[in-house]
């Protein structure tokens, strides 16, 4: 049975040379130690989680403190206006459980929601996004409440109050924050409450300035006092519905906008009906490890799992790196073809299990040619239980994926409990609308639906529908061996989340990299498209150049993903890891 390469020596070399007390507040991209660990994209959020762990809280308590703080300091990627997927390992029972806090379409939404009635054509993406039409019923706050009640040791209010203080006191604007505002300036300028908060004086806040959000602080305080009912059926909910139905468009926006800003159909009844789902996680076995992920409406668990099953048909550790990466890319393309054809909110569990079966993986793996890349897009396979045929395919096209921003956090406590949580408001900046007087952005999650059918004559599983949840690519992942955690990881990045998680797993489990090396390595994302989306360092590497000789081609992207991860070392030591460069660097710390 393959085991992870021991990292005790590497961990010692990477640990900061500082007293134990200082190590508890470490905010570099890598930290090793004991007593619990936190990794996120933001030092303020990581510090909030570490404080909870030091005070005796468990991994869930700390994760909620991190998430609530990210809603303040990373408002363009997360917050109570969005949703996400929460994966939890319980050390006492050895079980992995999941919470589906995905945003939900209002009951009034039909299949033609993103078709312009005047033209009969799909709306332009930005027209659909910057509108009330794109906002799904938020699930983050309900997820936090459910997690606190089921597994936490503290009420949700304990996580909200410190985050409210951060919002009240303010936080320093960094270059990433300022750039995200600048990139959204035209959209933000269309709405008075958004412009007041994020465009002070009509311009993005200066790097190094302090941004305060007293409205969000008051919102957090209200929820802490009155519970989530204030959000889902009370005064905050009424404000959300009013904002969706009557977007607060500026009378004289500072910048022009070429699209009509459309209202949405969300009602207070839709908010009241919101329910956190508790699906069983996906699970595949890979080279002696049990890899747990998120079931539908996320495609993360099924697509990562199917790709791993395909890759297990080859011993990547005995191949050269070029061949290992070739197979990683081809397995990803094949799994994405099946994702696009079969996975949506209502994918039956037997079909999901079939996609993750070894027989189906063998049939798909036989399509990989070591000597040349498959022509893309590849057709989906036939997960019908009859796998004596060779390399069977069926009809169905590729699905164009829209880029989005998200955030991810990883937490472990001294008892061995683990949280892997990916949360989002979809696009960087969501739908660009701040709820007046409440201080948070709404999501544009419903643009994750396909606007028009994509599968030819076959049924499209990801069209809009009343009460339906759009397909996601979020892939919070926990890896066990003999029932004990080995790795936990996840990433933002839209559909590149799947390939980021998959590539880190291959780097760590197959290619002998340490976890910091696996996270830092240049990335390439093959999502069943003609060209691979890849970082420049990957394209320019020896392997990247060698892959072009096999028929692969590239579309450059400056950065792919922003992962966080924790590895569980011998004798209770933890290695927490975040990005060393991407997204302005991440933040990791251990309790001691």
- Pick from 434, 461, 464: which is nearest to 447 by CA? 464
How far is the CA of 566 from the CAs of 300, 303, 348, 536, in angstroms?
Answer: 19, 22, 32, 27
Annotated catalytic residue, options 30, 406, 533, 590: 406
Alpha-carbon radius of gyration of the chain: 23
| Strand 532-534 versus strand 554-556 pairing type | parallel
Contact between residue 489 and residue 421 where contact means Cβ atoms under 8 Å apart: no
How open is the CA angle 161-25-171, to the nearest 5 degrees? 50
- Quote the CA–CA distance of 588 and 592 in Å, as a whole number: 12
- Quote the CA–CA distance of 282 and 307 in Å, as a whole number: 13
Tell me the two tokens of residue 250: 């500026």
- Pick from 390, 135, 351: which is nearest to 243 by CA? 135
- The torsion region of residue 557 among left (phi > 0), alpha (psi -120 to 50) and beta comes to beta
- Quote the CA–CA distance of 92 and 29 in Å, as a whole number: 30
- Quote the CA–CA distance of 291 and 408 in Å, as a whole number: 18
- Quote the CA–CA distance of 291 and 399 in Å, as a whole number: 26
- The torsion region of residue 75 among left (phi > 0), alpha (psi -120 to 50) and beta comes to alpha
- Quote the CA–CA distance of 508 and 200 in Å, as a whole number: 44
Q: Which residues pair with 88 in a beta bridge?
A: 97, 419
- Quote the CA–CA distance of 291 and 293 in Å, as a whole number: 7
406 noted as active-site residue: yes
- Quote the CA–CA distance of 442 and 76 in Å, as a whole number: 10
State the sign of the Cα–Cα–Cα–Cα dihedral 14, 17, 22, 24: positive
Q: By CB neighbour count within 10 A (0-12 exposed, 13-18 middle, 19+ buried), where does 322 fall? A: middle
Tell me the two tokens of residue 340: 């696009």
- Quote the CA–CA distance of 34 and 25 in Å, as a whole number: 13
State the sign of the Cα–Cα–Cα–Cα dihedral 384, 390, 391, 393: negative
Tell me the two tokens of residue 538: 């990957």
- Quote the CA–CA distance of 58 and 413 in Å, as a whole number: 6
- Quote the CA–CA distance of 80 and 78 in Å, as a whole number: 7
The SS3 call for residue 296 is coil
- Quote the CA–CA distance of 39 and 62 in Å, as a whole number: 11
- Pick from 242, 200, 201, 237: which is nearest to 222 by CA? 237
Query: What residues are labeled active site?
Result: 406
């Amino acid at each position: 049975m393959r085991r992870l390469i021991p990292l005790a020596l590497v961990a010692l070399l990477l640990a900061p040379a500082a007293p134990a007390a200082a190590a508890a507040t470490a905010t570099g991209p890598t930290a090793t130690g004991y007593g619990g660990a936190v990794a996120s994209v933001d030092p303020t959020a990581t510090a909030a989680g570490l404080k909870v762990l030091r005070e005796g809280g468990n991994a869930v308590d700390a994760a909620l403190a991190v998430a609530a703080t990210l809603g303040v300091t990373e408002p363009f990627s997360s917050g109570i206006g969005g949703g996400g997927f929460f994966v939890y390992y319980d050390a006492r029972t050895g079980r992995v459980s999941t919470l589906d806090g995905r945003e939900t379409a209002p009951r009034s939404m039909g299949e033609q929601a993103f078709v312009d009635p005047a033209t009969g054509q799909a709306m332009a993406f930005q027209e659909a996004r910057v509108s009330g039409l794109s906002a799904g019923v938020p699930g983050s706050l309900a997820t936090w409440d459910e997690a606190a009640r089921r597994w936490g040791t503290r009420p949700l209010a304990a996580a909200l109050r410190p985050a409210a203080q951060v919002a009240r006191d303010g936080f320093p604007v960094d270059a990433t924050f300022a750039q995200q505002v600048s990139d959204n300036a035209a959209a933000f300028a269309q709405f008075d409450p958004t412009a007041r908060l994020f465009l002070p004086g009509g311009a993005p806040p200066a790097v190094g300035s302090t941004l305060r959000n007293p409205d969000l602080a008051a919102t957090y305080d209200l929820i802490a006092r009155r519970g989530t009912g204030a959000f889902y059926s009370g005064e905050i909910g009424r404000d959300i519905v009013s904002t969706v139905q009557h977007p607060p468009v500026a009378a004289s926006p500072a910048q022009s906008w070429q699209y009509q800003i459309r209202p949405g159909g969300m009602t207070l009844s839709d908010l009241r009906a919101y329910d956190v789902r508790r699906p069983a996680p996906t699970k595949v076995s890979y080279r002696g490890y049990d890899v747990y992920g998120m079931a539908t409406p996320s495609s993360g668990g099924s697509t990562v799992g199917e790709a791993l099953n395909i890759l297990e048909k080859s011993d990547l550790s005995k191949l050269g790196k070029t061949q290992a990466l070739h197979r990683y890319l081809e397995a990803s393309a094949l799994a994405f073809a099946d994702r696009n054809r079969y996975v949506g909110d209502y994918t039956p569990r037997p079909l999901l299990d079939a996609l993750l079966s070894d027989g189906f993986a063998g049939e798909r793996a036989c399509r990989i040619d070591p000597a040349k890349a498959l022509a893309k897009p590849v057709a989906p396979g036939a997960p019908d239980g009859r796998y004596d045929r060779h390399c069977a395919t069926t009809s169905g096209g590729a699905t164009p994926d829209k880029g989005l921003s998200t955030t991810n956090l990883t937490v472990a406590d001294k008892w061995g409990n683990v949280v892997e949580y990916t949360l989002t408001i979809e696009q960087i900046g969501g739908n660009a609308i701040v709820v007046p007087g409440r201080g948070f952005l709404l999501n544009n999650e419903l643009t994750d639906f396909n606007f028009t059918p994509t599968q030819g004559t076959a049924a499209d599983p990801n069209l809009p529908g009343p009460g339906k949840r759009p397909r996601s690519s979020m892939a919070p992942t926990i890896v066990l061996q003999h029932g004990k955690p080995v790795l936990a990881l996840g990433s933002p990045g839209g559909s590149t989340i799947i390939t980021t998680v998959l590539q880190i797993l291959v780097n760590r489990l197959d290619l002998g990299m340490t976890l910091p090396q696996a996270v830092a390595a240049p990335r390439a994302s093959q999502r069943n498209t003609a060209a691979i989306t890849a970082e420049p360092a990957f394209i320019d590497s020896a392997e990247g150049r060698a892959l072009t000789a096999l028929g692969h081609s590239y579309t450059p992207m400056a950065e792919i993903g922003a992962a966080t991860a924790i590895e569980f070392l011998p004798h209770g030591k933890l290695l927490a890891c975040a990005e060393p460069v991407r997204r302005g660097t991440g933040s990791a710390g251990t309790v001691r």
